[in-house]
Structure formats: C-alpha cells, structure tokens
Amino acid sequence: MANVVTNDMSIVIGGDAGQGVESSGAGFCLSFARAGLHVFGMQDYRSRIRGGHNFYQIRLSTEPRLSHSNPVHLVLALTPETVQLHMDQLVEGGAVIFPEKFEVDPEPLKERGVRVDSLPLMRIAEEHGSKVMTNTAALGAAAGITEFPLEFMESVIRDNFAPKGQEIVDANIKVAQAAYDLAQQRYGSDFPYKLSPIKDAPKRMLINGNEALAMGALAGGCRFVAAYPMSPATSIIEWLAAVPHEYGVVTKHAEDEIAAACMVIGASFTGARAMTATSGGGFCLMVEAMGLAGMTEVPMVIVNSQRGGPSTGLPTRTEQSDLLFAINASQGEFPRIVTAPGTIEECFEAGWRAFNLAEKYQCPVVVMVDTFISSTLRTLEMDAIDFSTVEIDRGSTLTYEELDRLTDGYNRFQLTESGISPRAIPGHPSGVFAASSDEHDETGHITEEIENRRRMMRKRMRKLQEAEKEARPPDFYGPEEAETTLVCWGSTFGACKEAADDINAAGGSANVLRFLDLWPLSEEAAATALGRCRRTVAVEQNYTSQLAKLLRMTTGIRMDQTMNKYDGRPFAPEEIVAGLGKEVASGHAA
Amino acid sequence: MEYAQFLREVREDGCFVSSEETEAAVVSVLMALAQVLPGPQLRALSSRVPPEAMVYLRRTSSEPDPLFDSHLFLGWVVSSLDATGMRDKTTGGLDLTAAYSGDEAIRRMGCVFSALKRQLEPAQQRELAAALPEVVDGWFLNA
Amino acid sequence: MVTRLDPKLFDATTENTWCAGCGDFAILKALKLALADQNIEPHQVLAVSGIGCGSKLPDYMNINGYMTIHGRPLPVATAAKLANPDLHVIVVNGDGDSYGIGGNHFVQSCRRNPNITHIVENNQIYGLTKGQYSPTSDKGFVTTTSPDGSIELALNPLAVALAAGATFIARAFAGQPKPMAQMIAEGMQHRGYALIDVLQPCVTFNRVNTYDWYRKRVYDLQEEESYDPSDREAAWQKAQEWEERIPLGILYRAEGMPAYEDQVKALEGGSPVSRLTELVRNPRPEQYEPLKEEFL
C-alpha cells in the first residue's frame, strides 16, 4: 500500500438536483470543520429544481485554503452519471463509491488505478431508516473509508435533523453507523487517504462570502435591505431577513430590482444605511436608480454577485464579467466606488466599509463578488470576523445637534473644496430641502444655468478625487521580486495565490498583484505596482480581460499575457499553473 | 342686448381672429365666473347678459369653491386658446406657444370683462369685483 | 380651539414653470391647505415625485422633497416611510409616471398598503414631452404618437386600485380644490396607502378633457346619501362610471386595516434611522457575537 496521506484530500459528492447534494455536502463540511480541519467547500449546481448533475467538492487540509483543488481522492456517486463526469479528476489510488444496482463500467477507472466499488447503501438506508437516507449512508461510508470518526457526523446529524424529530435523528445515525462499519471493513487498511480530527484545534466558523458580507453590513449599521431574489445573491437578503428582530433589520423583497434599488435610495435619503444585493441581470435594472443616487448624492450600497452572462447566461455559475459595466453603469458622469473583496474575510470587511464609503462620499458603492466567493464555504477563525474592528463613519452627515446649531439656512448641495456637502437627514426644521434628479443649484432647486451646471459637475466629480485618496492601492502576495506576476481581482485571488505558491515551491518564481478597490483607480498607485512587475499575466474569469483593459486605460500599461476562463467554472490553481506553461511553472522562464 | 351684438363688442375690443375664437373666449370667461361668483352676484350678472349667454353662467354646486383662485380662473380661459404649434422635430411632440397663453388669456378676458362691464352699473361692477378671487378682481376692474 | 398653520408657510420662492392655468396649481394649493389644516410643519413632510410636469411640485413648495426618476417615486417613498415612520410621506406624480412606467409599483403599493398618500396628477396626456397619449387617454385620442387615435383602452386607475387591494381610493377634480384638499387630508389621516387620483386638465396639450368637459360630468359621491364607501361592491360599480358621469370623492375606504409598516416586526424596537443614530453613539460590537453560533 502507498504511503498514507492524512488530512489533505478532496472529496466529491455528486448526484442529480433534488437529491439533496447541497445539504449533504454542507453538512459534511461542517462535520470536518468541527473536527478542526480546514475546509473549503464548493458547490456546483444547475439552474433547475430537479434533474441534472450537481456536485459538491470538499477540500480538506491542515492549512487554510482559498480555493478548491484537483485532483480528487474520493467520489461519492449518487448517480451513474457522476462516475462518468468526475472520472478524469480522480487521482491514482483514489476511489469511487456508489450505491448498489448502478451499471458502471469500472475498466477505464481501474486502468488509472482508481478503486471502483458498489456498496449496498440503499439497502442499509432502508434497513435502518428509509430510502431517502441514502445520502447519509454515502457520507457514513465516506467517513468509514477515510476512518474519520463518526462522532462529528453524528453531531451534525443531530443539529440538522433535530427539527424533524428524534426518530429521524436516530435513524440517520443508525444508517451512518452501518455504512461506516461496512466501508471501514472493506477499505480501512488499504485506502491511503485518511482524515483525522485535529486535537485542540480552535473552534472555527464554516461560512460563505454572502453570509460574511451580510454580517459585515449588519455590523456596519445596515438596517434596511431591499432585494429581488436572484442567484447567487439571494442568500444575502435571506440571511439578514432571518436575523432576530431585536437587531431591527427591515428587509423588503421588492417587486423587482428597479423597486429594490429605489427603496434603498428612499431609505438612505431618509437617513438609514440601506443595501441591495443582486446579480448582473438585476444590476442592469438598478442602473437608472444608481444614476439617481449619483445625481442626488444619496449613499447607496449595491452588491453585485456576478454570474455567467450575458442575459440569463449561466445562472448558477461564476464569472467576473461585470467589472467595466459597474464602473460605467448609468448614463452621464458621476462618482461611484467599486470594490471587490477577494476572500471571505474581506467580504465581511467590504460589508461595513461600503457604508462608510457611501456615506462619506455620498454616492453609490458597488461591491463586486461572484458565485464562487458568494457560495463557497470556508472555515474561518473566530476572530477573522472581529466586530470590534467595525467603524461607523457617517462622514459629513449632520447630527440633530449640528442641525440645531445651523443659523443661516441650509444648502444641501453646498459647494465645498472636497465636493462633499454637509448632509441633512429630513425631519429637522433647520434642514428642510428638496433634491432633484434634474441638475440643481446648491439649495437643490432645478436649474439648467450654464455656470451652475459647471460648478455642480465639478463639485460632484471632486468627490471622486477625494475617494481616490482613500482607495487601497493594489497589494502584492508572494516574493517581492518574481519572474511572473499574476494580476487579478476579486475571487480569483484565492486560486492565483495558491498557483503562485505552487510555482515557487516547484522552483519557479511568481507572485500575485491583486486589486481590491477598482474604482476610483489611482493611476499612480497602479502604475507604480505594475512597474515593479517583470512579466504580467492578468488572470480573469471573463472573456475580454476587463481588469487588463481598465489598467491599460488608466495607466497605458499593457499586460504581457492574459488568461481567461469563461465557462462558468472557477479557476483551480492547477489550471493557472498549467495555463502559464511549463517554463513558468518550473522556473525556466526567459 | 342681443348675443350677436355682445360678441361683436367683445371682438371689437380686441384682435380676435374669428368669431369662433371670440365666442370661445366669452364662453370660457362666463363659465369661469360661474365657478367663482356667489349666488346673488351670479344671478345679478345673469340678468344683464343676453339669454344665449345665461346658459354658461350655471353652476352645479350651490356654493363656489373657496379655493378657486386666479390660476384656475385663468385655466378655464387658457383652455379656450390653441397653444400648440407644429410638430417639434427637434425634441419631439408639438411645439407650443403656451408661454404666451397666460398673457393672451388675460388680454382676451379683458375684452370680455369690458363688454360685460358695459352691461353693469358702476356699483354693480364693484360688487362683482368684490366677489372675485384675488388678482381676478384686478383683471376685471382694469378691463 | 385647534390651531391651524398658515398655508403660506409652504410657499417657495422658486420660479414656477407650469403653463398658465395648469390644473397643477390647484393641486399645489390644495396640498398646502391640507398640510396646514393638519398642523403638519414643512420639516415633518417628505414629498416624493417622479418625472413630468406635475412631478416638479416639490420644487415649488417649502417641504422636504425628492424629485426622483420617471415612474419610481412609490418604491422610494415606501422605503422612506419604512426607514423613518415619523415622516409624513406623500407621493405626487403624473398619470404616465404612476400608471404607465410605474404601473407595477402602483399595483404593488395598493396591495402592500404602506402608510403613504399618493396624489396622481391625471391629465390623460404626456405634457413634459409635449403631447403624447397616456395610459389614461381615452380610446381614439389623437396625439403625436397616436395619429390615428389611440388603439388601447384607457386604464381605469380606481378599478385597478380596488382590484389590487388599495384601502383608500378617492378621485378629485382640479377644478374643485376645496374638496380635493379635504380628500388629501383624509388620505393622509388614513392608515395605509391612500390613492387620490386628481383629474387635472392640461390646458395646453389636452384639448378634449378640459375644465368644462369635466365640469359637465363630475358629481360628488357624498351627495348620494345611500353611498357607502366601505362597500367594495358599490365602489366597484362606481369605479366603472366614466363616459357620462364621473364620480368624485372617496370611492372606497377600508377601515381598521393595518399599514405595511405596522406589521414589520423589526420596526417594533425603533426605525432603521433611529437605530443607526443609536449605533453611532453606542456601537456595542459584542451584540453581534451570538450570530457566529450558526456557523459552528
């Protein structure tokens, strides 16, 4: 038998939509997280309620990982199709298990050194519970094969099935136990990939980007959320809607994204911190309202969790194809801020920081995430989400007391050096004003007078210069000097980081230049960073290399190479390494 | 006085393009008056105008609306003007001359008022003016 | 004795750009009077409008105003009210804004029942774009976009509102500002969404539906002694009247229905605006710690 590898493997659970793959996968992830392992869980599903292949890929390790990885070591196939679809991902020495009665041709797998086994999972499920518990049997078997103590799975079963009653809990545990015993018997000693709980590991959360972002927003004072359900952003409003009422979060499932965006503006105009979350299609509908917020200088936070486009595109899959759209969305010119967290921790921070930026610069802020970071689960240290770091900075918003002290009238759109005007919240006798989407003067009244137009345009656009001062310059990961720099933004950071690590470990030389704040983009900061790079490769989850275009537009600097992926599936680190070519990966680059 | 004679007087007071235009102005002013004059003044006026014009001085509600002001009064008269021109091929829609409507309506109203005033004793004129909304009384007295 | 504010308190110094004699003047006047009668001060009101001639109204008043984009004032206002229920929130926009481009928001607002008052300046024409037919233009109406006469049936806003579940439906006529002011005040006193559709002649572009055209047809529902505005069936019958006789007044009023924000549990301990003010004073980061539990 090959050397035993402990706590470094990937498991795929695959089946049809409607077979409970998502909840099985998430539950399994949680049992590993409770055992102290680092978990990265990625679901891959189709836009339909039933039928069609779905899978959950779980990566387990002793180090935190920001991305999934290939190869895969164990495939739990709940359909024969799963075996076919994941065959190529399997490593030599890995295994595929599936319930009895599947007709699977084992030969191609056996040729590659993969162990193929049918286990009587349905029979076990029926014997100890019912047929719907086949997934539990499969997970129990997986635990048995990897000799991962069943107690962690049991605790998750107890928590997850508790609402369905003790009998269901007990039956599931019996099913898991029976499958565990059988699998351990068959594989125990000669399956080389093992999972073992880590003693004294700290408690960790298992959380996705949307949840972290929503939590950040809540801590940042967001108490109004309006949205229209759209994958993959729906879980943001859902999470906030489920927060206990004591926190006072008003959530509104609006009639459409137009209404959602307008509601955010209405609530914000009145003085609340308000947010909406959507995907590209919904963002399209919000674009006109975004211009209203720009023109009337109302803070607005929009989360755009990008998915495969155009149009309905790939509804459940990932893409980074809305960057230039977000930067340019809506007619006319007005300041807006676009930021793209690259990790789940950064999603939390983006959640509250967006409101500070929006209120400080009194403009729309778009937080760009994507299906990948929105929905993949990761273990996070408890202090990675640190509420004491959250600041609420309302910028030039006037307090009631400050309004009390106003003596000679109030101009909502007062001309200032920074372009930022003191902002009154309606309700105070000294701060009565009218705002208009038409061009207006300092008081807010409509006018098309030439000089006023020039002044007001300059005033609004000055805010963008101010915001640029606060924008974060791009940051480097990896060695200061490297032959190749992977240039990225948003969720591809995870895969780029690991690709660079792999290249450096193999004797190559690579680092990562990551852009977190994308608009306003400081020409100086971007050019300085790019000037430090020998050879740049823009790694983007889109067809047209939108970051590369933006950088060229801003700095005149052209990327040396672009690497694009637009099939809706996220980059794995190995793909990036392979895409760079042998020379780069092994350190023989020119 | 005959209705035709009344219309002629109005027309002679101001430059109306047609008799239709003149009658439209007369009708609109009378109808607007019907909206604002209290019963006694309305009846007094009715007794002084040609029978054909009396029909326009009818009001459905018993009391005039106390908020009926000069804008609304003007509205009735402006409604009798054609304030649109040709197609506006630059910005779409119809080109409009509504900027003139207010002044033109006041001018036409003045012609009707002065013809009416000739039917009234000075005391009656003052009484009627006193019953008109602010601003409209001035239009009437200055006509 | 109840004190009453001077309606002049609501006057603005802004230049008014409406056509002379526009029915919107009467709406502006009625709104000022309704606010004064209720002793509501300028800072306690937010008037949200869309785009169109009538939507300029907030610019012509001394109150908090927000002139938004075409068709969208209802969601803006709904959220403004949810964020700060202490404000009196009024929506004022035209027939195209309300019933055309904003039609979905109109229907949703009827069934949603936010505590806002919606005044529609219904002149059956697009004025600001200079004379195109609107959702409430009668069939056959000739305009620049309907040179052969409009082919569509006119939308019946009162019937739509009734069908969609509105709890207060009234119709006023700009030629009768006093009852209009009364209806606005009653709409504001009503707990929930109050629609006041105001028949408002466009003196420049609508040569058909003039003051006189309406005067000949309108009648006051309250003069019909047997009319009961709480009777939905009767309201439905009345809502169908148009060609010959047009009823004015409160067509339908459902008493005792809770407004949307009365039923939002998260509002029980304070509004989003007041809670944020409190958070700035006292952020209490520890309050969020229990939320981490669900991820363990």
Q: CB C204 to CB B98 under 8 A?
A: yes
Tell me which chain B residues have a C-beta less than 8 angstroms from the C-beta of C37. none
Residue position matching structure tokens 């202490």: C86
Q: Which residue of C has its CA nearest to B71?
A: C21
Is there a domain that residue C86 lies in? yes
Give every residue of chain C whose pLDDT is below 70, as ranges. 1-3
Measured CB to CB, residues of chain C less than 8 Å from chain B are 19-23, 25-26, 29-30, 33, 126, 129-132, 144, 174-179, 181, 201, 203-205, 207, 210-212, 215, 219-220
Model confidence at A20, pLDDT cuts 50, 70, 90, reads confident
Distance from CA of C85 to the nearest CA of B (A): 31
Q: CB C265 to CB A254 under 8 A?
A: no
Q: Residue A394 is nearest to which of C63, C104, C280, comparing CB atoms?
A: C280
Q: Which residue of C has its CA nearest to A245?
A: C266
Number of B:C CB contacts under 8 A?
116
**Topology of the domain covering A475-586:** Rossmann fold (3.40.50)
Distance (Å, whole) CA C132 – CA C52: 12
Distance (Å, whole) CA B14 – CA B108: 7
Residue of B65, B91, B96, B97 to mutate, testing the C interface (most C Cβ within 10 Å of its Cβ): B65
Q: CB A221 to CB C268 under 8 A?
A: no
For residue C53, the domain's CATH number is: 3.40.50.970
Tell me which chain A residues have a C-beta less than 8 angstroms from the C-beta of C80. 266-267, 269-270, 426
Indicate the helix (H) or strand (E) that contains A366.
strand A364-370
Portion 148-207 of A in contact with C at CB < 8 A: 203-207
Q: CB B94 to CB C176 under 8 A?
A: no
Token digits for A20?
């409970």
Distance (Å, whole) CA C17 – CA A164: 66
* Whether residue A589 has pLDDT greater than 80: no
Model confidence at A583, pLDDT cuts 50, 70, 90, reads low
Tell me which chain C residues have a C-beta less than 8 angstroms from the C-beta of A221. 275-276, 279-280
Tell me which chain B residues have a C-beta less than 8 angstroms from the C-beta of C202. none
pLDDT tens digits for range A443-463: 999 999 999 999 999 999 999
Amino acid letter for position A158: R
Token digits for B23?
């009658």
Q: Which residue of C has its CA nearest to B79?
A: C203
Hey, is the C-beta of B72 within 8 angstroms of any chain C C-beta?
yes
Distance from CA of C99 to the nearest CA of B (A): 20
For A449, which DSSP code? -
Distance from CA of C208 to the nearest CA of A (A): 31
- Which chains does chain B touch, 3 or more C-beta pairs < 8 A? C
Q: CB C288 to CB A387 under 8 A?
A: yes
pLDDT at B64 (0 to 100): 94
Pick the CATH number of A5-201 from 3.30.499.10, 3.40.920.10, 3.40.50.300, 3.30.70.3340: 3.40.920.10
Give percent above pLDDT 70 in chain A.
98
Distance (Å, whole) CA C213 – CA B128: 26
Q: CB B75 to CB C23 under 8 A?
A: yes
Hey, is the C-beta of A384 within 8 angstroms of any chain C C-beta?
no
Is there a domain that residue C282 lies in? no
Sheet containing C45-49: which strands, arranged edge to edge?
A434-436, C64-67, C45-49, C88-94, C117-122, C194-199, C168-173, C246-253, C218-220
> What's the 3-state SS for B66-135?
CCCCHHHHHHHHHCCCCCEEEECCCCCCEEECHHHHHHHHHHHHHHHHHHHHCCCCHHHHHHHHHHCCCC
Distance (Å, whole) CA A324 – CA A320: 10
Q: Same topology for domains A5-201 and A475-586, yes or no?
A: no
Amino acid letter for position C162: L
pLDDT tens digits for range A69-113: 999 999 999 999 999 999 999 999 999 999 998 888 889 999 989
Q: CB A433 to CB C64 under 8 A?
A: yes
Q: CB C286 to CB A433 under 8 A?
A: no
First to last CA, chain C: 63
Q: CB A221 to CB C292 under 8 A?
A: no
- Of all residues in chain B, what percent are helix, strand and coil, respectively (each to 5)? 65, 5, 30
Amino acid letter for position A238: E
pLDDT tens digits for range A201-210: 999 999 999 9
pLDDT tens digits for range A348-405: 999 999 999 999 999 999 999 999 999 999 999 999 999 999 999 999 999 999 999 9
Tell me which chain C residues have a C-beta less than 8 angstroms from the C-beta of A385. 292
Q: Residue A426 is nearest to which of C72, C87, C286, comparing CB atoms?
A: C87
Domains contained in chain C, number: 1
Model confidence at A324, pLDDT cuts 50, 70, 90, reads very high
Nearest-CA neighbor of C70 among C89, C91, C90, C55?
C55
Domains in chain B with CATH codes? 3-142 (1.10.490.110)
Residues 6+ apart with CB under 8 A from C240: C156, C159
Q: CB C76 to CB A34 under 8 A?
A: no
Break chain A into its structural domains and give their ranges: 5-201, 207-389, 400-470, 475-586
Angle in degrees, CA A352, A354, A356, rounded to 5: 80
Hey, is the C-beta of A533 within 8 angstroms of any chain C C-beta?
no
Q: Which residue of B has its CA nearest to C133?
A: B93
Model confidence at A536, pLDDT cuts 50, 70, 90, reads very high
Q: Residue A266 is nearest to which of C75, C283, C285, comparing CB atoms?
A: C75
Q: CB C87 to CB A270 under 8 A?
A: yes
Residues 6+ apart with CB under 8 A from A332: A291, A294, A295
Model confidence at A2, pLDDT cuts 50, 70, 90, reads low
Distance from CA of B111 to the nearest CA of C (A): 18
Q: Which residue of A has its CA nearest to C46?
A: A426
pLDDT at A588 (0 to 100): 44
Give every residue of chain B whose pLDDT is below 70, as ranges. none
- Which chains does chain C touch, 3 or more C-beta pairs < 8 A? A, B
Q: CB C82 to CB A211 under 8 A?
A: no
pLDDT tens digits for range A186-240: 987 789 999 999 999 999 999 999 999 999 999 999 999 999 999 999 999 999 9
Q: Residue A434 is nearest to which of C59, C86, C266, comparing CB atoms?
A: C59
pLDDT at C47 (0 to 100): 98
State yes or no: chains B and C have 3 or more CB pairs below 8 A. Answer: yes
Portion 391-410 of A in contact with C at CB < 8 A: 392, 394, 399-400
pLDDT tens digits for range B28-69: 999 999 999 999 999 999 999 999 999 999 887 788 999 999
Hey, is the C-beta of A390 within 8 angstroms of any chain C C-beta?
yes
Q: Which residue of A has its CA nearest to C294?
A: A205
Q: CB B79 to CB C215 under 8 A?
A: no
Q: Which residue of C has its CA nearest to B31?
A: C212
A60, A5 in Cβ contact below 8 A? Answer: no
**Average pLDDT of the residues in A263-284:** 98
Is there a domain that residue C290 lies in? no
Residue range of the domain that includes C107: 7-260
Q: Which residue of C has its CA nearest to B104?
A: C20
Q: Which residue of A has its CA nearest to C273?
A: A272
**Average pLDDT of the residues in A408-432:** 96
State yes or no: chains C and A have 3 or more CB pairs below 8 A. Answer: yes
Alpha carbon A541 to its chain's center: 13
Portion 78-137 of B in contact with C at CB < 8 A: 78-79, 81-84, 87-88, 91-96, 98, 101-103, 105
Give percent above pLDDT 70 in chain B.
100
CATH number of A207-389: 3.40.50.970
Q: CB C80 to CB A388 under 8 A?
A: no
Q: CB C129 to CB B101 under 8 A?
A: no
Q: What ipTM did this prediction achieve? A: 0.98
First to last CA, chain B: 20
Model confidence at A584, pLDDT cuts 50, 70, 90, reads low
